[in-house]
């Protein structure tokens, strides 16, 4: 209780006692119109909603939002699993270029994440080789894009999943917890708020087993790569039932926005972090793993459908563009929405590396109506015996039927070795079952896909992925020790404070308070430092620095 009271006092003092410290951001944003932006993010679903033609689940709230939105028919995650996908979303970079492509690196799943790892205890076995758990050290110029929003006056909140493959730096969010909400901002301050709903996550197939099915198993569609059994139908019905639960949660959030009178002037994104949760969906490069539901309700009244190709690497630059914030040159994605755009994405790329205890490497490109895939290790089968996935009842049944030789040829294909190249026609083969790579009628499409992927791979978009993971970790963590951010150095002249740190790429956070604080930790009240600010004599200044992947610095305290 004392700790909670101290944290509450910390937030109040940091918000109320430092009017001068944020005047630069607030004054710059006051002169331009900045929209509110809300992200409604779910997990692990493909475009299996009514506005994509699948009416199995009843989703009145999402349907209503879709009628006022632009629905995108070609939106793709860059990886078919959450951690690498979310690292791309928060940075605007391909995971293979910043070293976040292996699932999973550490324990940062919720909120701020785990910042310090003990290498003598945090280890896992990777196909016979012991690998430490680690936080990815990404290139020094790469930030969470929300820092650029904060620096321009936005109030940023995340409720609450992060799962970036690194701990979220304290400078990324104004609030990042179960209570994070646009309602906590200053009057008139524009907001960027993210709400993450996990009710459709893969784990909810078995964790929600005690909940009633609201979708009748006999009515669900069964893809041809599954056995049509009672177990399969029950799991598929659970997925659709979870989507109906999601719809209720989204409806409640939208109702809050409307109650606050903010619905009409808030841009709303809805999407899933990657494709479906079932076997041969999650972790795959096929449409079932990368193709996601995606819609945007704007404030310009536009609605309908768009065939524009969207990649998750484009989300960060798009939000920055909509907010009127300069897009850093290093971002690898491009904005697809807003004014004065002269680029249109012609292809979307996806990558596949280690998933939990199984490592591999494949790359894909989506273009026109086709999917082209390169498998760097064709001696490995498509199927990965990931232990986590085997908690899905139908996965256990698939393995039993395989061993009993009761699967048909289509269902057995997943358990064969991969070819070097794959080519699928998305329009005529939505389940990606017929490989056209050796079909001479599709020679031009094969060559186009090959050329697109060659350009991607030669563009240094996968530099970090070509190292064995053990070597990559050693380059990030010399001697397998997590580096630590250097402490903040202060220069105080005429009641103006300048802050710096010797760690390249680190961001600096600070708190100014009229009273000494008894409990200062990394998760509350920190402001993002961007330029010198004024303070008053007698105030207390708390500072810390953090580079992504490093331990945060010590907190330096100074009474002025």
Catalogue the active-site residues.
82
Integer Cα distance of 155 and 185 in angstroms: 6
Strands 129-132 vs 347-352: parallel, antiparallel or unpaired = unpaired
Torsion angles phi and psi, residue 441, rounded to 5: -65, -15
Question: For residues 77-91, b (16+ Cβ closer than 10 Å) or e, as one string?
Answer: bbbbbbbbbbbbbbb
Residue with token string 């700790």? 3
**Is the sign of the CA dihedral 118, 120, 125, 126 positive or negative?**
positive
Tell me the C-alpha distance between 362 and 79, whole Å: 11
Cβ atoms 317, 335 nearer than 8 A: yes
Any idea what DSSP says for residue 484?
A: B
Contact assessment for residue 486 and residue 501, using Cβ atoms and an 8 Å cutoff: yes
The CA-atom distances, in angstroms, between 329 and each of 141, 319, 332, 336, 402 are: 10, 15, 8, 16, 50
What is each CA distance from 125 to 9, 84, 129, 166, in whole angstroms?
Answer: 44, 20, 6, 20
User: CA 240, 244, 249, 251: dihedral to nearest 10 degrees?
Assistant: 130
CB 378 within 8 A of CB 388: no
Using DSSP's 3-state secondary structure scheme, residue 16 falls into helix
> Residue 181 class from Cβ within 10 Å (0-12 exposed, 13-18 middle, 19+ buried)?
middle
Distance CA 176, CA 168 (A): 9
Rounded distance, CA 77 to CA 351, Å? 9
Cβ(78)–Cβ(364) below 8 Å: no
Q: What is the 3-state secondary structure (H, E, C) of 309-371?
A: EEEHHHHHHHHHHHHCCCCCCCCCCCCCCCCCCCCCCCEEEEEECCECCECCCEEEEEECCEE
Tell me the torsion sign for CA atoms 213, 219, 220, 225: positive
């Amino acid at each position: 209780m004392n700790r909670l009271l101290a944290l509450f006092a910390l937030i109040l003092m940091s918000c109320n006692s430092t009017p001068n410290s944020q005047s630069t951001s607030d004054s710059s944003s006051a002169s331009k119109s900045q929209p509110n932006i809300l992200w409604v993010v779910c997990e692990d679903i493909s475009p299996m909603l009514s506005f994509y033609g699948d009416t199995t689940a009843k989703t009145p709230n999402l349907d209503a939002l879709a009628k006022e939105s632009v629905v995108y028919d070609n939106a793709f995650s860059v990886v078919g699993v959450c951690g690498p996908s979310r690292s791309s979303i928060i940075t605007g970079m391909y995971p293979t270029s910043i070293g976040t492509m292996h699932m999973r690196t550490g324990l940062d799943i919720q909120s701020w994440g785990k910042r310090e790892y003990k290498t003598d205890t945090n280890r896992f076995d990777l196909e016979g080789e012991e690998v430490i758990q680690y936080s990815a050290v990404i290139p020094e110029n790469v930030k969470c894009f929300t820092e650029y929003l904060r620096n321009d006056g936005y109030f940023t909140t995340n409720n609450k999943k992060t799962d970036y493959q690194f701990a979220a730096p304290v400078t990324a969010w104004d609030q990042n917890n179960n209570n994070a909400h646009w309602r906590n901002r200053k009057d008139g301050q524009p907001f960027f708020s993210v709400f993450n709903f996990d009710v459709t996550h893969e784990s909810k197939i078995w964790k929600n087993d005690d909940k009633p099915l609201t979708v009748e198993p006999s009515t669900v569609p069964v893809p041809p790569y599954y056995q049509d059994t009672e177990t399969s139908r029950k799991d598929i019905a659970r997925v659709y039932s979870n989507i109906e639960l999601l719809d209720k949660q989204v409806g409640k959030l939208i109702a809050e926005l409307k109650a606050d009178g903010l619905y009409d002037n808030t841009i709303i994104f809805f999407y899933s972090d990657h494709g479906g949760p079932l076997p041969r969906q999650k972790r795959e490069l096929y449409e079932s793993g990368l193709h996601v539901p995606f819609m945007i309700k704007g404030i310009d009244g536009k609605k309908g459908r768009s065939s524009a190709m969207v990649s998750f690497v484009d989300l960060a630059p798009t939000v920055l563009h909509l907010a009127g914030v300069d897009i850093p040159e290093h971002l690898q994605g491009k904005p697809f929405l807003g004014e004065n755009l002269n680029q249109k994405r012609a292809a979307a790329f996806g990558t596949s590396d280690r998933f939990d205890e199984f490592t591999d490497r494949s790359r894909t490109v989506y273009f026109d109506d086709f999917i082209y895939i390169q498998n760097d290790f064709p001696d490995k089968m498509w199927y990965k015996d990931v232990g986590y996935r085997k908690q899905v009842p139908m996965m256990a049944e698939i393995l039993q039927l395989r061993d009993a030789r009761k699967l048909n040829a289509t269902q057995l294909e997943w358990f064969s070795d991969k070819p070097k190249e794959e080519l699928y026609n998305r329009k005529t083969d939505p389940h990606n079952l017929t490989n056209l790579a050796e079909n001479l009628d599709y020679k031009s499409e094969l060559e186009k896909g090959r050329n697109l992927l060659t350009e991607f791979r030669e563009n240094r978009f996968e530099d970090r992925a070509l190292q064995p993971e053990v070597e990559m970790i050693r380059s990030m963590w010399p001697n397998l020790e997590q580096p630590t951010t250097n402490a903040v150095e202060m220069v105080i002249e005429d009641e103006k404070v300048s802050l710096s740190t010797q760690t390249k790429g680190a961001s600096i956070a600070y708190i100014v308070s009229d009273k000494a604080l008894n409990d200062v930790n990394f998760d509350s009240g920190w402001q993002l430092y961007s330029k010198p600010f004024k303070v008053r004599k007698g105030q207390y200044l708390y500072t810390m620095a953090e580079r992504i992947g490093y331990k945060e610095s010590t907190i330096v305290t100074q009474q002025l």
